[in-house]
Structure 1
């Protein structure tokens, strides 16, 4: 998913996928099933920053940021029809 999104986010998602595949290859023959969960679209500053990469993509597509983000939700077939909302963790 590279292409202007934060390096830490795209690298972590790629690493999680690779880890899951490696574990499945190693332990699958022993009957162990491996699943990974990688969050999809979460309403963070990445998707709300009017000066950010997603905003630039929206402008290039001739759309406003909100419209473009909603189109991303639709294109990715998000079941709820909206982005997930972040919640700060509190111990």
Structure 2
């Protein structure tokens, strides 16, 4: 497997380009695919220390929600937001984000 950080960077840039070209559905697919790749391949092969590679595409999904006018959904995706529920948010494939205040 290629270097996970390099591959994640490439996928993030690809999603950004798709967004800039107005192909939001393709950018969304790339983000979901990256989260799946991190959960199914990167973590099992390289350890949980690489779980952070799944956070950028999750944030990008929130950005896509905002672009589409789905502000509430965008805020829901980001547990650091004051508007976020006080509970863990399942992302995908066993990856869960926890509100930062619950971690302090």
TM-score tier, shorter chain, comes to 0.3 to 0.5
User: Whose helix proportion is higher, 1 or 2?
Assistant: 2
TM-score, normalization by structure 2: 0.36
User: Whose strand proportion is higher, 1 or 2?
Assistant: 2
TM-score, normalization by structure 1: 0.40
Structure number with the bigger relative contact order (C-alpha 8 A, sep ≥ 6) is: 1
Structure of larger gyration radius:
1
